[in-house]
Amino acid sequence: MPFISQFQRQSDYNLFSPTTPIVIDNGASYFRIGWAGETEPRVVFRNIVQRPRHKVTGETVTIVGDHNPALMKYFDCTRSGPRSAFDSNVVYQFEIMEYILDFGFDRMGANGLEIDHPVLITECVCNPVQSRSKMAELLFETYGVPSIAFGVDAAFSYKYNQHHGVCNKDGLAMCPGFTTTHVIPFVDGEPVYKGCCRTNIGGYHVTDHLKQLLSLKYPYHLARFTWEKVEDLKMEHCYIAQDYASEAQLFRRGGKEAEEKTRCWQLPWVPPPTEEPPSEEEIARKAAIRERQGQRLREMAEAKRSSRINELENELHGLEFLLQQLDQVEESDIPSFLSDTGYVSKQEIESARAKVTQSLRKAKGEPKSDQAETERADSANSEKYSLINIPDETLTPEQLVEKKKQLALKSMSEGRQRSKQKRYEEEMQRERRLQLEEEKRLENPELYLEQLHAKYKDLSEKVDQRKRLKTNGNHTNGNNLSGGVGRGERLNAAQRERMRLLTTAAFDRGKGEDTFGARDEDWHLYKLMSRDNDDDDEGPDEDEAELARISSRLQDLDPTFVPKLDTGNAQSAEAVPRSRPLTKEDFQIIFGVERFRCPEILFNPNWIGVDQVGLDEMAGVSIRRLPDKDESLEERLTDSILVTGGSSVFPGMIKRLEAAIRMIRPCGSPIRVVRALDPVLDAWRGASAYASASLFHTQTFSRADYYEKGEDWLRGYQLKYTI
Amino acid sequence: MEPEVVEAEIVLPTYLSFKRVQTYEKYPKGQSRGRHWKHLKQIIQSENYSNYPSDEPTYVSIESPPSMHPCKRICDITGFEAPYYDPRTKLRYANAEVFRTVRSLPDEYVQKYLAMRNAAVVLK
């Protein structure tokens, strides 16, 4: 990883005299602070602040920079994400800036009552005066700094490289940074801000784009794509294609070269433990246990059955004995005789006896004689419904009531019989159908399977489409925070219809008063509405039932079949179908086209939706904007183009820029594009070299100056870079 | 505080000797922290750029113009060249296979792809 934070506390703060300036490169990505005259900044860290709560003590603490995630587990970071003091490339949050400066000075080893060194701090090009003045105030008031100088980081980088002979005193500095990209022309060693050009695209946007692309392509692994990880991926694997169209063609053809250029990231994955097939003894043992259990159950059932048979037989005997006794007793004595036993009449005893015989027969396992049943039913029928067939006039009133009762009973039992019949018929039909299918399957298994698959696909598409139509609106509006149904949510067909009806009813026909509801017919509107709702719900059910049936059938028959999950629900679109086991390939992230698609947005900001020129055109714009130019100046400018800044380290950037600038310049003009010695640290190094010059103090302004001269003067303050 | 956290010194101390005014004095607890810091747009608006000579470069004037070159259209999903555009979902696609994927995407994903291009429908 090229960028590494270092924030060891320095111990030699007191060794530096109060005239040694402290140099700060305050960038949107990293904050670098060190002493003037040195080649490396002492302290480097990411320019972010977090304010989590400590889990145990509950106090809110401030943590600056990025730290070991293992230590962060003691803090509750859910409510506090990392925050930056920057909005685009301008500092606007000075509380956060204060924390950052605190940390920076603290790690430099600052002690004593105030920071007693002049400070050189970088800012963006044409920094708004409000930001500048607040920064000056912060440094003067809170830290007691004696004098400050503001400079532009790209300019320092250019000067540094100029001193080292990389570029000339007239040239162009192209600086893709973290949030913005600048192109600044230099004439006679001084930047000409009139010709400067800024596009709001930087390394941040490239990383963000890559992160979004990966999250959409692999939603299952969403949690893996953290900002830091994606940034690492970007730095390691992204490159800039010489010509986007031809690279894309290469990948589209998918040949060997494309394979070589594709990187594959294997996520950690543990194959599920395969169960060993149970050994012979295991199987035998399990089978024996099952046998024994079955045997026991059967014995218990046997015992119960025999005991029940005994009971029934006893009862039967008792009843028969009673009957015999009855025969011997006279007619008139029957009631008294029977009062002991609990039966009232002979018929009752006989019917009880019949019932017991029947259950006995059932228990003994004889088939229920349906014939006898229906016959008896018929005979019972003719007894029970004796009154029905007799015409009304000949019956007495009680008999009429009796007849009505019998009619009702008869129709009920007939209905029951009919439904039984229908069920039976349906069963027969289903049996027949299954048999037919079996036959078809047996005679031509493949064709049958194909047909089934085709049917399944059709049905599932139909069901899906209908589901999608119904619920199309309900998942998109993440923006909608209110609980109620808002303007954007009524996309269900039924709801749309309902709304339409309501609005036509409420339409003011210009008569002033709202007379809806005065007439009864108006309320029929609501009948229309609910009917719409019902219709929608009933339809798909048969299709779905059919679908389920076919799917289960396919699962039985075809070992490779995977039932399609319900994709109407956005959640499950993420889930890999789990009916087949997850394989190693599911856990691989493939980078092919993304490798060069993401940095390409530096050249085509339109792909992100930013309507500005890309890096290649910016050079042309910048040259055009120069106030007074001539041919020779332009040639001198293009002869020394320096590329610096954190986002310029992509491989292939130089060649691409050269080709692009050649396109916009007249043929034959000299073009030389060079990369800075160290695109990341050169800004700080340049600032450090500048601050160690003897005339540096003429370029700073002190606290007194600031308060006397005021904001207007501060607006006009510009550093002179050649001293 | 756990010993390793203290040792690693990742927490910013509340009192620093070199400061004239400490943070806790400046920003007392209890006041809303998400203060009234002006965002960049507000800063730019409140700068009276019109009061100053107009040929001086300002933060706004150095901004780049829109691009003159015709915009190269690429497929939203695969990144290849995309001459085609789906009117229903408004996504760009490269060929028939990608089109099938485009049509089968749930709505949430369609909006996310469009949001990458800053072309999503935002209902307020």
Q: Which amino acid is at A566?
A: D
User: Dihedral (C-alpha) A464, A468, A474, A476: value to the nearest 10 degrees?
Assistant: 100
Mutate to test the interface with B, among A55, A80, A216 (most CBs of B within 10 A): A216
Per-residue model confidence (pLDDT) at position A339: 67
Tell me: do A374 and A326 sit in the same domain: yes
How many domains does chain B divide into? 1
Would you state the structure tokens that stand for residue A63, as one six-digit string? 């943590």
Confirm whether B59 is domain-assigned: no
d(CA A588, CA A266): 4
pLDDT of residue A257: 82
Contact A32, A684 (CB under 8 A): yes
In the predicted model, what is the mean pLDDT of residues A458-468?
77
Confidence of residue A349 (pLDDT cuts 50, 70, 90): confident
Residues 6+ apart with CB under 8 A from A555: A561, A563
Query: How many angstroms separate the CA atoms of A33 and B58, rounded?
Result: 28
Confidence band of A340 (pLDDT split at 50, 70, 90): low
Q: A198, B40: Cβ pair inside 8 Å?
A: no
Looking at per-residue pLDDT, the higher value among A686 and A477 belongs to A686
Question: How many residues are there in chain A?
Answer: 723
Split at pLDDT 50, 70, 90, the class of A367 is very low
Give the H/E segment covering residue A443.
helix A397-443
Q: Are residues A566 and A640 in the same domain?
A: no
Q: Is residue A657 located within the same domain as residue A639?
A: yes
Same domain, A27 and A132: yes
Residues A596 and A669 in one domain: yes
Report the pLDDT averaged over residues A484-491: 48
3-state secondary structure at position A504: helix
| Whether A691 contacts A23, CB under 8 Å | yes
Region class of A254: left (phi > 0), else alpha (psi between -120 and 50), else beta: left
More confident residue, A418 or A501: A418
pLDDT of residue A338: 66
Q: For residue B78, which residues of chain A lie inside 8 Å, CB to CB?
A: 593
What is the band of A204 on the pLDDT scale with cuts at 50, 70, 90?
very high
Say whether both A353 and A398 belong to one domain. yes
In this prediction, residue A567 carries a pLDDT of 37
> How far is B28 from B15, CA to CA, in rounded Å?
14
pLDDT of residue A626: 87
In a domain, B61, yes or no: no
Alpha-carbon dihedral A540, A546, A551, A553, rounded to 10 degrees:
170
Residue A164 domain-assigned (yes or no): no
Residues A332 and A370 grouped into a single domain: yes
Residue A235 and residue A363 share a domain? no
Judged by CB atoms closer than 8 Å, whether chains meet at B78 and A618 is answered as: no
The mean pLDDT of chain B is 82
pLDDT tens track for A114-144: 888 999 999 999 898 889 999 999 999 999 8
pLDDT digits (tens, 9 = 90+) for A31-48: 999 999 899 999 999 998
Are A222 and A235 in a shared domain? yes
Interface test with A, best of B17, B18, B51, B71 (most A CBs within 10 A): B18
Work out the burial of residue A679: count CB atoms within 10 Å of its CB; fewer than 13 is exposed, 13-18 middle, 19 or more buried. Answer: buried
Domain assignment of residue A99, given as a range = 13-48+84-158+680-716
Read off the pLDDT of residues A652-676 as tens digits, 9 standing for 90 and up.
999 999 999 998 888 888 899 999 9
Answer whether B62 sits within 8 Å of A193, measured CB to CB.
Answer: yes
Cβ atoms < 10 Å from Cβ of A564: 16
B15 Cβ neighbours under 8 A, 6+ residues apart: B22
What is the pLDDT averaged over residues A359-375?
58
- pLDDT at residue A536 is higher than 60: no
A658 and A690 part of one domain: no
Higher pLDDT: A694 or A382? It is: A694
Q: Which two tokens stand for residue B110?
A: 């369609």
A181: confidence class by pLDDT, cuts 50, 70, 90: very high
Q: At B30, is the pLDDT very low, low, confident or very high (cuts 50, 70, 90)?
A: low
pLDDT mean over A102-121: 88
What Å distances lie between residue B111 and A207, A224, A658, CA to CA? 20, 22, 37
Structural domain includes residue A530: no
Please tell me whether the interface predicted TM-score (ipTM) of this complex is above 0.95. Answer: no
Could you tell me the two tokens for B89? 């979902």
* pLDDT of A404 strictly over 70: yes
Helix axes A129-137, A94-107, angle to 10 degrees: 50
pLDDT band at A486 (very low <50, low <70, confident <90, very high): very low
Q: What domain range includes position B91?
A: 71-124
Distance of alpha carbon A418 from alpha carbon B2, whole angstroms:
80
In a domain, B17, yes or no: no
**Position with higher pLDDT, A564 vs A612:** A612
Which amino acid belongs to residue A377? Answer: A
- The answer on A225 and A329 residing in a single domain is no
In the structure, what pLDDT confidence band is assigned to residue A330 with cuts at 50, 70 and 90? low
Residue A385 above 80 pLDDT? no
Same domain, A33 and A143: yes
Domain count, chain A: 4
Domain membership of residue A510 (yes or no) is: no
Average pLDDT, chain A: 81
* Predicted local distance difference test score (pLDDT) of residue A685: 93
Domain-embedded: residue B111: yes
Contact A113 B17 (CB under 8 A): yes
Torsion (CA) A697, A699, A700, A706 in degrees, nearest 10: 140
- Structure confidence at residue A154 as a pLDDT band (50, 70, 90): very high
- Position A202 scores a pLDDT of 92
Question: Which H or E element spans position A211?
Answer: helix A203-217
Of A497-501, A610-614, A668-672, the poorest mean pLDDT is in: A497-501
Higher pLDDT, A149 or A453: A149
**Inter-chain CB proximity A95 and B37 less than 8 Å:** yes
